[in-house]
Amino acid sequence: MNKSFLERQQARRKREKRRRVEAILIMIMTIICAIAALLLCATEANGMSQDDIYAIEQAEQPLIRTGEHETEIDPVYAQHIQLLKEQETAEPVVPKWEVSDTADMDICDDNFEMLVECAFAEAGNQCEEGIRLVVDVIGNRAGWEMSHVDDVITAKYQFSSYPDGMTKWRGHITEEFIQICADEWMKEAKADGGAGVYWFRTGRYHKFGNHFKPVGDHFFSTR
């Protein structure tokens, strides 16, 4: 009798322990499902996250505060809007250079300006060698005929700076930069050493062409 009683007690304790473990597991799974549901609602409600919804709600709030007090506009916001308006209406300042600066160059002025603007948009933040190599890429593609420069630069999918980047950075071109481009175009000993650089890409080489060398942020390749 005593043995049977003890066995029943042990079996009962095992069943209670198993039920407690099952209850804990069910509770954990319920919490996980609830969290997942909340995250799903946050990311899929109207196709936007809670942060996006909050941002839209804030954007829809009136920028002009009205009420019993005098109507006023946030001065920081007003200053920002005024600055944007000035930037939109301001005419870009394009540096001027005399024909004598590019003596002996049989060029079309418009094409030379396009060459300079494209080179600056692509390599204005690079070292002098990097600038000259970009000029070489354009020159090699144009067969070193200035009259062909516009065809090279405006070709589809060739220069990411055309036309937006060229327009955006036009006002930052310096006389020194213009002279570098003119000198590279005119001199016989090119920066690529006659290798004929034909492509360049930021951060890595193209999958085609032959690797020439990296200079600054650009990786130059030949045909």
DSSP 15-51: HHHHHHHHHHHHHHHHHHHHHHHHHHHHHHGGG--HH
| Best-predicted range by mean pLDDT (48-52, 89-93, 154-158) | 154-158
pTM above 0.85, yes or no: no
Give CA–CA dist 113/150, Å, rounded. 10
Read off the pLDDT of residues 60-77 as tens digits, 9 standing for 90 and up.
444 444 444 444 556 666
Read off the pLDDT of residues 12-22 as tens digits, 9 standing for 90 and up.
777 778 888 88
What are the two backbone dihedrals, phi and then psi, of residue 189, each rounded to the nearest 5 degrees?
A: -85, 95
Read off the pLDDT of residues 164-177 as tens digits, 9 standing for 90 and up.
878 888 888 888 99
Closest CA to 218 of 112, 132, 95, 105: 132
- Helix, coil or strand: residue 125: coil
Give CA–CA dist 136/151, Å, rounded. 15
Give CA–CA dist 67/56, Å, rounded. 23
- Helix, coil or strand: residue 202: strand
Q: What integer pLDDT is reported at residue 80 of this predicted model?
A: 64
Give CA–CA dist 61/26, Å, rounded. 44
DSSP 44-112: HGGG--HHHHHHHHHHHS-SEE-SSSPPEE-HHHHHHHHHHHHHHHSPP------GGGGTT----HHHH
